[in-house]
Amino acid sequence: MSDLPLDLRKLLEDRARQYTTEHLESLKDGKGTVKLRLKCSDGFVVETVILEDKTGRRTACLSSQAGCAMGCAFCKTGTLGLSRQLETHEIVEQFLHARKQDETIGNIVFMGMGEPLVNFENLMKAVRILHEPSGCGLGYKRITVSTCGLSEGIERLALETPSVRLALSLITADQGKRESLIPAARTNTLPRLKKSLLAFQKEKESRITLEYVLLKGINDGRDEVRKLLEFIRGLDCLINIIPWNPVKGLPFERPESVRTEEFVRALRSEGISVTRRMTRGVSINSACGQLGGIQ
């Protein structure tokens, strides 16, 4: 910017920073998955993942918190506890760092470290910047917010925000099991949660994704299929089956492929839209539920 005075240019060079976060490293699994480790100005490290689906579509999985307070039993991030909320600029910078790695990224999902709906104000400011044509220019329909199931947050998302997409980590439609796996389910019961989902669906006229992490011997049986079918009655939803990704120290197992396929077929036989998540990034601890793991 040669039209600025030389003294001002020197001052900007010495003091101004484009980013408040530092890109520490990128880890790649050889199948299109990339994990970025970013250090915030106060030293906390957050992780961002670039995902590729079978069509080649690239998605940035962004974090909303440093750590997480939700304590979901099957998730590595849930064992870390919450360090702090990420600021709006720290959320946006994750996408900018990811775009430096891959300019073709055209979708965002807030499914990284943390519970997005707990950091609602900063999340929504970031969403609007990511959408703004003079910002990152992403359509709202290309942005998905994933939650472990905070009913009030879902209702607020429906009434106060643009038409982003919603994904819910359902895990099981058995209230007792859900409480044992997701502590927040104790105050966000399944009936209350369904009421929130119906309100979101009515307001946004958008299909909801229900994420179902399959845990061997816990939520992969026929009775679980029946309860799931009862829960989704009246919802326009897609069930995304995610065989559990191993996390050292957690007492779960991934179901055998045959068991997973039986679960998927049982749902499809009832006319339910189902997808099975491809396993990506396990070798670099970047798969669903693994963020915050030691490399």
Q: Is 288 a catalytic residue?
A: yes
Domain assignment of residue 224, given as a range: 18-284
> Does any domain span residue 292?
no
CATH number of the domain where residue 137 is located: 3.20.20.70
Write down the pTM of the prediction. Answer: 0.92
> Does any domain span residue 13?
no
How does pLDDT run along the chain (295 residues), one tens digit per residue?
A: 789 999 998 898 888 888 999 999 999 987 789 999 999 999 999 999 999 888 889 999 999 999 999 999 999 999 999 999 999 999 999 999 999 999 999 999 999 999 999 999 999 999 999 999 988 999 999 999 999 999 999 999 999 988 999 999 999 999 999 999 999 999 999 999 999 999 999 999 999 999 999 999 999 999 999 999 999 999 999 999 999 999 999 999 999 999 999 999 999 999 999 999 777 667 777 788 889 865 4
Q: Is 93 a catalytic residue?
A: no
- Rounded Cα gap, residues 34 and 29, in angstroms: 7
Catalytic residue among 40, 47, 52, 61: 47
> Does any domain span residue 8?
no
Q: Structurally, how many domains does the chain consist of?
A: 1
- Rounded Cα gap, residues 8 and 18, in angstroms: 16
> Does any domain span residue 3?
no
> Does any domain span residue 1?
no
Residue 2 pLDDT: 83
> Does any domain span residue 291?
no
Query: Which positions ≥6 away from 24 have C-beta within 8 Å?
Result: 37, 38, 39, 45
Catalytic residue among 40, 68, 75, 288: 288
Nearest C-alpha neighbor of 241 from the set 181, 171, 189, 187: 171
CA angle 183, 146, 168 (to 5 degrees): 60
> Does any domain span residue 196?
yes
> Does any domain span residue 59?
yes
The two tokens of residue 100 are 């430096």
